[in-house]
Chains A and B, each alone.
Chain A
Amino acid sequence: MADKLHFSLVSPSRELFSGEVDHVIAPGTEGEFGVLAHHAPFMTTLKNGIVRVLEGDAVKMRIYVRGGFADVTPAGLTILAEEARNLTDAKAEDVDAEIEAARLKLLALDSGDTKQFALQEQIAYLEGIRAALAN
C-alpha cells in the first residue's frame, strides 16, 4: 500500500475531519483535482462542490464545501472551507427547511442591508447541498 496523505478539513466553526487517507478529490476553481501522498506544494481557491475522500478506490466520505482554499504542503492537505457539511449525515428534509428559512430571512431584510449578500450565498450553498444529496 502506498503512503498515506494527511488530510484536514476545517471550517470557521469547527474541524470536520483530520486524519490519514489515501486520496482526496477537491473542486478547485480551475477544475477538480486529486491529491495523493507526496503531492508537490500547491495552493488553490475552491468553488462550491463536493470534496471526496477515498480509501483505496472506494469513496469513504463526501463533504460539501462552500468556497475556500486548499493548501498542499509536504505535511499534507489542508482545506479551509467557508462552510462545510458532511453529506453522509445530512438529511434532505432538513436542508429544505433551512433553504426555506433563509429565503424568508432574505425577504424580511431591507434592500441595501449588508446581510443580503451573505444570505444569498448561504442559499446558493444550501441548494448545492440539496442537489448533491439528490443524486
Chain B
Amino acid sequence: MPSLKDLKNRIVSVKSTQKITKAMQLVAAAKLKRAQDAATAARPYAERMAAVLANLAASAGGGGPKLLAGTGKSDVHLVVVMTAERGLAGGFNSYVVKLARQKITALQAEGKTVKVLTIGKKGREQLARDLGSLLIGHVNLSDIKGNDFAESAISVGLMLTKSYEAGDFDVATLVYSQFKNVLTQVPTAQQLIPAKAPEGAPKIDLGGAMYTYEPDEAALLEALLPRYINTQILSALLESSAGEQASRMTAMDNATRNAKDLIKALNLKYNRARQAQITKELIEIISGAEAL
C-alpha cells in the first residue's frame, strides 16, 4: 500500500504530464491547419503538372528520355523512406517504416539489390538498427521552418536524377505517408523513377486539332520530367508533414484523456487511503479513552 505522500506525488506528476500532452495537442492542431493549407495550395500545380505529363507521355509513346522509359532493367532499387523528424506522433513513423521494410524484404527476396535513402530522422533511426548497411544517404529536415519544403524537394529531386543518370539505380520508389484526412494517413509506396504518368488523368479534348510543341516533344519531356519528380517529392513532403501533425494531435489527445482517467483513479485511491487513516486514528483515540 503506497503512502499518502507517494500517492500525492504521483497525482502531481501525472497532472504535469497531462499539461504537456494537452499543450502538444494544441500546438499540433495549429500546425496541422497550416500544413493542410500548404498541401491544399500545392495541389492545383501537382494536378496540372500530372495532366501535362500524361498528355506528353501519351504522344511520346513507349520511348522518350531515360527518366520516362527506364533503364531497361530493374536490378538495383532505391527505396526512399520519408518520415518525420520528431516522434511522439503515435504510430506515424512506425507505419511508414513497416511498409518500407516489407518492400525492401520483398525486393531482396526477388534477388534485387536494394539501397535506402532516408528523409527525416525517425525513419533512419529505426532502419539503421537492422538495415544500416543498405543506407546510402540521409536528408535532414530539421532546419526547415513552417512548410517551406520547396528547396528540399528540389535538392532531393536533383540528387535522385543525378545518381539515376550516373546509373546508381534502376528504379526509385518513394515510401511516405499519404494524408487522407485528419484521422487516416495511409503509408504508400509510389514509383518515382522511371516517372509514371498518373492513371486516370483527364484526357484533354483537342477538338481534332494537333498539339504544337516548342521547342519539340523530346526537349519538353526532358525539361518536364525532373520537375515532375520534384513536384511529386514536394507534395509527398507536404502530405507527410500534415499527416505527422494530424497523427500527433490524435496521439496527444489520447494521452491527455488517458492522464485524466489515471488522475481520477489515483484521486479515488488517495481519498480512500486518507479516510482509512482518519478512521484508524479515531479507533486508536476511542480505544485509548475506553481503556482509561
Contacts and interface: CB of A to CB of B under 8 A. Distances in A.
A13 interface: yes
A74 B205 contact: yes
A17 B207 CA distance: 26
Contacts of A41: 204, 206, 209-212
A84 to B, nearest CB: 10
B211 A42 contact: yes
A117 B204 CA distance: 35
A10 B48 contact: yes
B45 A30 contact: no
A42 to B, nearest CB: 5
B215 interface: yes
B44 A15 contact: yes
Contact of B158 (A78, A83, A114): A114
Interface of B: 38, 41-42, 44-46, 48-49, 52, 55-56, 150-151, 153-156, 158-159, 204-207, 209-215, 219-220, 223-224, 227, 231, 234
B40 to A, nearest CB: 9
B11 to A, nearest CB: 48
Contacts of A122: 151
Given A43-B214, A115-B151, 20 more contacts: A10-B48, A12-B42, A12-B150, A12-B231, A30-B215, A41-B209, A42-B211, A42-B212, A43-B212, A44-B215, A68-B227, A69-B52, A69-B220, A73-B204, A78-B52, A80-B45, A80-B52, A114-B158, A114-B159, A118-B158
Nearest to A115: B155
Contacts of A74: 204-207, 209
B227 A15 contact: no
A119 to B, nearest CB: 8
A86 interface: no
Interface string A65-107: 0001101011100101011000000000000000000000000
B12 to A, nearest CB: 46
Residue among B48, B56, B204 with max Cβ neighbours from chain A (10 Å): B48
Please list the 4 inter-chain residue pairs (A to B) with the smallest Cβ-Cβ separation, ordered nearest first.
A44-B214, A14-B41, A114-B155, A10-B45
Of A8, A10, A30, A115, most B-chain CB atoms within 10 Å: A10
